[in-house]
Amino acid sequence: MFKQIKLKNGIKVILAPRAQTRAVSVLVLMRVGSRYENSSNNGISHFVEHLMFKGTKKRPSTLDISQELDSIGADYNAFTSKEATGYYIKAGKENLDLACDLLSDMLIESTFVQEEIERERGIILEEINMYEDNPMSKIGDFFEEDLFGENTSLGQHVIGTPQNIKSIKRADIVSYWQKHYKAGNLLIAISGNFNEKSALSVLEEKFGIIKKSKRNAIRPARVLSSKAKFCAHHKKTNQAHLMLGFPSISSDHKDRYALGVLNIILGGNMSSRLFIQVRERLGLCYFITSGAEMFEDTGAFYIHAGLDLKNVDKALDAVSKELRDIKENPVAKEELLKAKQFIKGKMALSQEDSLEIASFYAGQAMNRKKILTPEQVFAKIDKVKASDVRRVACDILNKKKAHLTTLSPFKDIHKFDKNLDF
C-alpha cells in the first residue's frame, strides 16, 4: 500500500513502505523536461540534470558527492525525459537521512561553477555524437520529430542540438533552474524499509525550505497529421532502421490497458506475432519490436525494426499482414490470456525492488488523476476483452495516419507505400 501527502510547501510525497527489504529508495521527480523548452534552449533540462552532480555549497565537487554515496554502496543516477527530470538514490535502510540530505542539497544548493559547466558541455556533445553513431537509438529521435513536428515541444530531442549545447550560458542554466526547480513541480517518492514518521520529518526539514509555487502547465501538443507521411533520413548504414508509427493515446486514457495488451500481442516480447513471423519464420531481421509512448495529452504507437536493405519491402508486407489480421479478427482467448499474464508477471517482478515501486507510484502521480495499486492495475488488465483489443487496433493502426521513418541509405521511401496494406 501507499500514502499520498503534501509537505507544508505543497510538495507531493508518496510513501510506499516495504518492511521485508533492507533497502530504501528516494526518487525525486521534477515536472520539467524537453517539452518545456523552446527551439533556442532545447537540451537545457538535460544539461541541468548533468550539473546537479557537479558540486554544491556543502559538497563543492563531484568527487565529494560521489565518494559520499559510494562509501555507503548506494545506487544513484538521474534521467531526463520529455515531461520530467528524475534523481534517485537507493541505499541501505539506515541511510535515508543521507539520501534525502544529498538530493535536497543538489536540488537547492548546486553552485554551477563555470569550469564544471564547460567540462560537462564537452561530455554532452560527446553523448550526442554517441547517439549519432547508433542508428538503432537515433531512429527514435527522428520518428518523434517526424510524428510530432520538428521544433515542436514533443518533436524536440531530449538531449538537444550541438548548436544549443555550445551556446547555452551559465546565466541561462541558473535562470532555468530557478524557474522550474520549485515546490509545485516537485514530487518525492520513498519506498522500502523506513519509518513513516521519521521520513516525513526528514523530508520537511530537507525539502520544506523550497518556496511554494504553481505547477508547470504543458503547451498542448499540436494536432497531429491525419495523412500518411514518409520521412527518409539518409545515412550510409548496412541495415535499414525503420519505425512505422501512429498517433496514439495519452497516459491517462481509459484504453491504455487495452493498448498495453495489444502491444504485447503484436511485438512486445519474443513470442509476439511480429517477432515470430518476421524474425523467426521469415528470417528478415535480427530485432523487431513494438511499443507505446504515452504523454500527458497525446501519444505514439510504433513498430521498430532493423532490416537488410533488400528485405524492407518483404518485412513491411509481413508487418501489414499482422496489422490487418489483428484489426479484422478477434484475438484468441489463449493468446489474450498469455499477454495479460506477461504484463502482470513483469509488473509483479518489478514490485520486488524498492526503486521500481517508487517509480511505479511517482510515474502515475505526475500525470494521472488517480493513483492505482498494483492489484488495481491487475484488475484493469484482467477486464480487457478481445473486443477491446480489436477496437483499439482499429482506432490506432490506421494506414491513413501511418508515419514511416527510416535511417538508411534510401533517399526516397515513398516506394514502400505499396507494401503498407492494412
User: For residues 240 and 409, what is the distance between their CA atoms, to the nearest angstrom?
Assistant: 7
User: For residues 169 and 40, what is the distance between their CA atoms, to the nearest angstrom?
Assistant: 12
298 pLDDT more than 70: yes
Taken in order of first residue, the domains within the chain and their CATH numbers are: 3-207 (3.30.830.10), 229-419 (3.30.830.10)
SS3 320: helix
Residue found by looking up cell 505543497 in the block: 10
5 pLDDT more than 90: yes
Residue 169, burial from CB neighbour count under 10 angstroms (0-12, 13-18, 19+): exposed
User: For residues 400 and 172, what is the distance between their CA atoms, to the nearest angstrom?
Assistant: 42
Phi and psi at 227, nearest 5°, equal -115, 150
User: Which conformational region is residue 43 in: left (phi greater than 0), alpha (psi within -120 to 50 degrees), or beta?
Assistant: left
User: For residues 268 and 246, what is the distance between their CA atoms, to the nearest angstrom?
Assistant: 16
CA atoms within 13 A on the CB side of 219: 12
Question: Which residues on neighbouring strands pair with residue 85, listed in sequence order?
Answer: 30, 80
Contact 277, 334 (CB under 8 A): no
DSSP secondary structure code for residue 297 in this structure = S
222 pLDDT more than 80: no
User: For residues 242 and 359, what is the distance between their CA atoms, to the nearest angstrom?
Assistant: 30
- What is the tens place of the pLDDT at every residue in 120-178? 999 999 999 999 999 999 999 999 999 999 889 999 999 999 999 999 999 999 999 99
224 pLDDT more than 80: no
- What is the tens place of the pLDDT at every residue in 337-394? 999 999 999 999 999 999 999 999 999 999 899 999 999 999 999 999 999 999 999 9
Residue found by looking up cell 518533436 in the block: 155
- Which pLDDT band, with edges at 50, 70 and 90, does 225 fall under? low
- Percent pLDDT > 90 in the chain is 96
pTM: 0.95
Segment 251-277 shows an average pLDDT of: 98
Pick from 181-185, 219-223, 263-267: least confident: 219-223
Question: Which residues on neighbouring strands pair with residue 242, listed in sequence order?
Answer: 305, 406
Cell numbers at 212, concatenated: 511554494
* pLDDT reported for residue 227: 79
Contact 143, 405 (CB under 8 A): yes
Residues 6+ apart with CB under 8 A from 337: none
50 pLDDT more than 90: yes
Segment 205-212 shows an average pLDDT of: 96
Residues 6+ apart with CB under 8 A from 360: 350, 351, 374
Contact 58, 110 (CB under 8 A): no
CA neighbor of 9 nearest in space, from 274, 209, 287, 298? 209
* pLDDT reported for residue 33: 98
* pLDDT reported for residue 310: 96
Mean pLDDT of the chain: 96
- Percent pLDDT > 70 in the chain is 99
* pLDDT reported for residue 151: 82
Helix (H) or strand (E) holding 361: helix 354-367
Contact 87, 53 (CB under 8 A): no
